[in-house]
Amino acid sequence: MIGLIDRLSRPLLRALDPEDAHALAIKALRYMPLAKAAADADELAVRAFGLKFPNPVGLAAGFDKNAQVPDALLRLGFGFVEVGTITPRPQAGNPKPRLFRLDADHGVINRLGFNNDGAAVVHMRLARRRNAGGIVGVNIGANRDSTDRIEDYVRLIETFAAVASYFTVNVSSPNTPGLRELQQAKALDELLARVLDAREQVRARAGLTPVLLKIAPDLTLADLDDVVGVARRRRVDGMIVGNTTIARPGSLREGEMAREQGGLSGRPVFSLSTRVLAETFVRAENAFPLIGAGGIDSGATAIAKIKAGATLLQLYTGLVFRGIGLVTEIKDDLTAALKRGYRNSLASMIGSDAAAITADSWPA
């Protein structure tokens, strides 16, 4: 049923302004009665950060920014859902238009700028579903006009620790001026020290919530040395590689649209983010697991991410072009690949191509 509605509604959604289409999709998920997805095959289960994921296919941050529909999304078959980015105070984001579809490239450019309902409202929603089960991570960021950005992250950890399955510290959005400077070694070290200290402070009442760091695919390898070094020394629980890119690959066909400012996602960011994932994997040396994101839109691209070093996956833009059936397609392709080899274990696939990828020439 959902597949049929999905097939029928996609041309309609595509005809709409992208932001209106997104609002309509959220509304449909809120009101449509959804049966629970079929149980996942045992071999798709993943243990990471002390959590057990029924399957490795997650929804990336930015789709359900305000935690309006995490349970509907879990019922559609995602192994986990990340809500946010949430900032302490609500904010409107950048002026519209600020979301652009590059149809010929299967890409999206967004400069939304952390539009969200703010911590109080989102916390209320998550507290209401607290006992519903399922893995719902909370992606946190700083208000654009904040005078103390690190303090924003600390407050969000305190607010959400009891209702978040895990946290993602987002220092990689290109749409909040200066935010990505928090990826520089000294600033990142201070940020992580204070975030992890805040987590420790609330541990007695909230438990030990895993903290992941989400980076941009635009870091240089020298920057990446620093970032992974700091993440390891501070003992973060994992990293997400990565966010949207400010780069514009020469291969883009939607030339005019490509000039829009903002972060590019989808198929055009696949090669770069997969390379940076592999580079992160060889630097992390299994100190923590990685989530691979950027351009996953098929079983083959999902498998490529795992072989580059991802223990778990996240996608967003692929849904825009392929529809919700993509999630089941990826899970089926993973199960089939496991049956063909890899001792029927996802774990043996993780990072198997990382060394080869990092030896290759840099993606154009």
Ligand X SMILES: Cc1cc2nc3c(=O)[nH]c(=O)nc-3n(C[C@H](O)[C@H](O)[C@H](O)COP(=O)(O)O)c2cc1C
Q: Does 62 bind ligand X (CB under 6 A)?
A: yes
Catalytic annotation present for 173:
yes
Asked if 243 and 255 touch (Cβ cutoff 8 Å), the reply is: no
# of chain residues touching ligand X (CB under 6 A): 27
Q: CB 19 → ligand X: shortest distance, Å? A: 9
**Residue 315 sits in the site that holds ligand X (CB under 6 A):** yes
Shortest separation between residue 25's beta carbon and ligand X, angstroms = 12
DSSP letter for 57, please.
E
DSSP 184: S
Cβ atoms within 10 Å, residue 152: 19
- Token couple for 33: 């009665």
Nearer of residues 139 and 209 to ligand X, judged by Cβ: 139
Stretch 140-169 residues interacting with ligand X (CB under 6 A): none
Does position 214 interact with ligand X (CB under 6 A)? The reply is yes
Counting contacts by CB under 6 A, is residue 241 touching ligand X?
A: no
The stretches of 40-167 forming alpha helices (DSSP H) are 70-75, 119-128, 149-160
Binding segment (CB under 6 A) for ligand X, from list 29-37, 61-69, 145-153, 200-208: 61-69
Burial of 76 (0-12, 13-18, 19+ CB in 10 A): buried
Residue closer to ligand X (CB basis): 236 or 269: 269
Instruction: Give dist(CA 62, CA 112) in Å, integer.
Output: 9
Nearer to ligand X, 22 or 155 (CB): 22
- Report DSSP letters for 296-310, one per residue: --SHHHHHHHHHHT-
Q: Which stretch binds ligand X (CB under 6 A): 42-50, 55-63, 180-188, 199-207?
A: 55-63
Neighbouring C-beta atoms of residue 196, cutoff 10 Å: 17
Q: Which among 146, 165, 172, 173 is annotated as catalytic?
A: 173
Query: Does 170 contact ligand X by CB under 6 A?
Result: yes
Contact 268, 288 (CB under 8 A): no
Query: One symbol per residue from 72 to 111: x for binding ligand X (CB under 6 A), - otherwise; what is it?
Result: ------------xx-------------x--------x-x-
What binding mask, one character per residue, do residues 291-310 give for ligand X by CB under 6 A, x or -?
--xxxx--------------
Shortest Å, Cβ 189 to ligand X: 21
- The least distance separating ligand X from the CB of residue 160, rounded to whole angstroms, comes to 15
Comparing CB distances to ligand X, the nearer of 49 and 316 is: 316
Residue 110 vs 183, nearer CB to ligand X: 110
Phi and psi at residue 18, to the nearest 5°: -55, -35
Q: CA–CA separation, 103 vs 94, rounded Å?
A: 23
Q: How far is residue 105's CA from residue 252's CA, in Å, rounded to a whole number? A: 6
**Residue 364 C-beta-side C-alpha neighbours within 13 Å:** 3
Is the Cβ of residue 173 or residue 342 nearer to ligand X in the bound state?
A: 173
If one asks whether residue 265 binds ligand X (CB under 6 A), the answer comes out as yes
Separation of alpha carbons 261 and 183, rounded Å: 21
Q: Which of 310, 318, 191 shows the shortest CA–CA distance to 241?
A: 310
By the rule CB under 6 A, 334 interacts with ligand X: no
CA distance 91 to 86: 9
Just list the catalytic residues: 173
Which residues sit at the interface with ligand X, rule CB under 6 A? Answer: 60-62, 65, 84-85, 99, 108, 110, 112, 139, 170, 173, 214, 243-244, 265-266, 269, 293-296, 315-318
